[in-house]
Amino acid sequence: ACFSDFTEMMRALGYPRLISMENFHTPNFMLVSEVLLWLVKRYEPQTDIPPDVETEQDRVFFIKAVAQFMATKAHIKLNTKKLYQADGYAVKELLKVTSVLYGAMNTKGVERADVSEEDSSKFKFDLGSKIADLKAARQLASEITSKGASLYDLLGKEVELREARTESIARPLEINEAEKMMKIAVDCVLEQVQKTKDMLNNVALDEANLEAKIEKRKLELERSQKRLQTLQSVRPAFMDEYEKIEEQLQKQYSSYLEKFRNLTYMQQLLDDHRQTEQEMFEEAANMLRLMQNRLKEEEQHLLKSGNNDDSDIDIREDEGSDSEVEDRQIMKQRTATETLLQG
């Protein structure tokens, strides 16, 4: 039913080709694009939708343009995916447009059964042209308003202009003065023409100078490029010596690093050794101080014991001999302490 309605409507609208159901068994994008373009032309003959559908991008652009046109002009929403399929589903979308056109034709009082192919081909439903006429009418109305206002202003100045016009008309025409004015105008025009020619000549000279400068720059560029190529191809004379010195520098740097590390290590060892010597010296000084204090205490103790022995005079000879031995021991200890102090 959908296919039959579509074919009948297209025949009634005056489509030049015969459309059958078999045309849409397989995707036929060329036929769909032709029908869409024909329907768009029915709405607005001055439309500028491109008919190119050779590539995929052109087809997508064509479908989008037709759908946008129908949405803005006729308020008909089309499914672009179904139109791009170009099969039976596309016929349903085409039927939306054809039904609107067919209904508009029936409202005009044209019966489908009585309309022949010739009459249907003559029928034209041009909605876009009516919109264009409306825009033109609005533009003309605005122009009429503006021109009427300017005409009113000019008519208000007619009283003053009429007197000046009558005076000018009444004044006799002097041929000599007119000829003089014409000569002045001709001279001005000739002067302008001469200035224009001079400018053209200057432009030609400037162009020649620029071309000469361009050629000179091109030659300099070519020479510079050739020189650059020769410099890149030729190896400098001192390059071999430079590479050898660079290798020696690498070796010297590695040996320098090794010696620097060794020197740092030896300085650390020297600092540690000095610190240990200082600690040993301090320890020896402390020991010597302790020994000196101990010897002084023993000496004082001996002196005290010696004084006690001297006060006891009436002692036996044996005891006297013992005191002599003790005195000798005290003297030995004193000499020992003196030697230690000197040391």
What is the structure's pLDDT at 113?
43
Token duo for residue 97: 């447009």
Condensed to tens digits (0 to 9), the pLDDT of residues 128-149 reads 557 777 888 888 888 998 898 8
What is the structure's pLDDT at 226?
92
What is the structure's pLDDT at 122?
44
Residues of the chain with pLDDT under 50: 110-125, 313-321, 325, 340-341, 343
Condensed to tens digits (0 to 9), the pLDDT of residues 193-231 reads 999 998 888 888 888 899 999 999 999 999 999 999 888
Q: What is the pTM of this model?
A: 0.33
